[in-house]
A and B are shown apart, each in its own frame.
Chain A
Amino acid sequence: MTAKNKLKVATTSLAGCFGCHMSFLDIDERLFTLLEHIEFDRSPLTDIKTCSPDCDIGIIEGGLCNAENVHVLREFRKNCKILIAMGACAINGGLPAQRNHLPLTTILEEVYHTSPGLANGMIPNDPELPLPLNKVHPIHEVVKIDYFIPGCPPSGDAIWKVLTDLLAGREPELGHGLMHYD
């Protein structure tokens, strides 16, 4: 494949821990094979800050916990032909969504006002800081997601399987052993 017809792949981590990206790197030397078929666009791996308008695949780690997450997700949906939710947080909110049964104000109060050891704590209110959402949401609740790779994180093998299935034009499928929600 020449550089011209390599697929453009963008990745990002929203309300995630970058564990899925670490797992992505666990495909190890298969990254070289992958790079014969794809080039990275916006991604923590390239440090490119915005998506090219003609990305083929967008891979999203993490759910939506603030307004900036939603903005980035919409940018990916606008610029990527195929969007993949990678990992538990993108798929069901994951660990950040464990706050969902508590009112946001209660959480902010506890973190910045009433926790022991805080003196004159104030809830951050800088206009540069994205506002937190009332609840953490999985990304499929906001934009259409084409494929999902479950796992916390998905194994490198599971990520490899889905990407190679897509590159080969097959419907991605994870059998026993690769399919994990934990």
Chain B
Amino acid sequence: MSLTFTLDGKTIPFTEGQTIIQAAGAAGVFIPHLCYHPEFKPHGSCKLCTVKVNGRHTASCTMRASAGMVVESETEEINAERRALTQMLFVEGNHFCPSCEKSGNCQLQATAYHLGMMSPHYDHFFPSRPVDASHPEVLLDFNRCILCSLCVRASRDVDGKNVFALSGRGIRTHLIVNAKSGQLGDTDFTLDDKAAQVCPVGVILKKRQGFAVPIGERKYDKAPISDTMTEGK
């Protein structure tokens, strides 16, 4: 017997051990997410992928699918919560899209578009987060960090280098570089690292190649994130 659950009324097949977001992605259904990446162990921290399973909130990147589950995702209630989470991410950091070279290719921005975020709603923190330009090839702009930990996971689990870590607790959580000086230039980080490829926002940037693609031709100019982020595509 084939295993299925329903997602917003649509029947989704899954295999044993798959999470809800994995099964949805394989079936071509987009669930908004930021810290989830199909190649990595889920982190379950951004909560953007929250769905209702049999009426209860849960993160779809950590919840295993099971037969007969009734899952709600694209409802006004859940999207309003996702929008509020996204607004909080925007005001906690310094996200000035017009001066960010990731603009147009940024998952945070594209997710905010998808959720119809017209304003940040909350008061801005305007935190002071100096950049790290010590590495010859890579710039770290912490202003845009959303603490998804993808670079932490990639550097530790794929590159075997442990260059990044999350430090501090609660609102003081921040991304750090594992070097005595705290500078990226004093690590063995290179552009070929997996960790250099996974940042969903504009923190880890290759130097000297900003704004290479003109406005109108960038990834999310062409199609909304919902059309580009399911696993089949």
Contact = CB atoms under 8 A, between A and B. Distances in A.
Interface string B123-143: 110111100000000000000
B99 A95 contact: yes
Main secondary structure of the interface of B (DSSP, over half): loop
Q: Select the residue from B97, B98, B113 with max chain A CB neighbours within 10 A.
A: B98
Given A92-B124, A182-B215, A147 B118 contact: yes
Given A140-B119, A147-B118, A181 B224 contact: no
Interface string A88-112: 1001111101101100000000000
Interface residues of B, number: 28
Given A140-B121, A150-B118, A176-B113, A135 B96 contact: no
Greatest chain B CB density within 10 A among A140, A177, A181 is at A181
Contact size range, A: 20 to 34
A173 B116 contact: yes
Contacts of B215: 182
Interface in B12-51: none
B168 to A, nearest CB: 19
Contacts of B113: 176, 179
A148 B94 CA distance: 19
Interface of A: 85, 88, 91-95, 97-98, 100-101, 135, 137-138, 140-141, 145, 147-150, 152, 173-174, 176-177, 179, 181-182
Interface of B: 90, 94-100, 103-104, 109, 112-113, 116, 118-121, 123-124, 126-129, 215, 221, 223-224
